[in-house]
Structure 1
Amino acid sequence: MSGAGAPPRDPGLQPERTRLAWRRTALTVTVVAMLTIRLALAGGRAGAPLAVLAILGWAATVALCWRRATGTGVPGTGGRTLAMVSLCATGFALIGILLVLRGV
């Protein structure tokens, strides 16, 4: 309730927890990207396109998380950051499936 007599909202530690969660997301995506690149390149030159896709997915996810993780302002994604990060995670899953089907 935000009535005239209501006290101002005290966010407590919630903003800090949110920033830390975005940092953990960026760190996790970095680890997944490095493992994906390692697996893709283990198969020789044929895995290079998958490695490039992993690098692009990593860069997109870190770019999305950066402003949220540092708390430097609202992202310019119109509230779609979580959906975009989920799309990048789905891309990593598809790359993983392709690597498994390739036999790496």
Structure 2
Amino acid sequence: MTDPGLQPERTHLAWRRTALTFTVVAILAARHAADHPAALVLIAVAWLAFCGTAYTRGRTTTRPLPHLTPVVTVCSVLALAVAAVLVR
């Protein structure tokens, strides 16, 4: 059963905006961590995981993924935090 209204489109656009923002943050973090390979790997993994989740979540508005989305989001933020500690 699909929602004929605009809610799926709004959800998809919101996830795209969030992924774009996360991409900008990841690029800035990678520029700062250019001399630290471990930090760059963490940033890349966090970016791939978050963008993959955003893409999946934006496309599957009829089948919510209640457990996956918060876990990947928290893990992505923690990976960026660990990368920041490694660079420091």
Structure 1-normalised TM-score?
A: 0.66
Whose RCO is larger (CA < 8 A, sep 6+)? Answer: 2
Give the aligned length: 85
Structure 1: 5+ residue stretches without partners:
1-9
Q: CA deviation at 1:95?
A: 2.1
Indicate the structure with greater helix content.
2
Bigger radius of gyration: 1
Structure 2 residue runs of 5 or longer lacking an equivalent are none
Q: Quote the Cα distance in structure 2 between the aligned partners of 1:38 and 1:27.
A: 17
- 1:33 corresponds to 2:21: no
Percent identity of the aligned residues? 42
2:56 aligned residue: 67
Please provide the CA RMSD for this pair. 2.4
Amino acid in structure 1 at the alignment position of 2:18: T
* TM-score, structure 2 as length reference: 0.75
- C-alpha distance in 1, partners of 2:18/2:42? 19
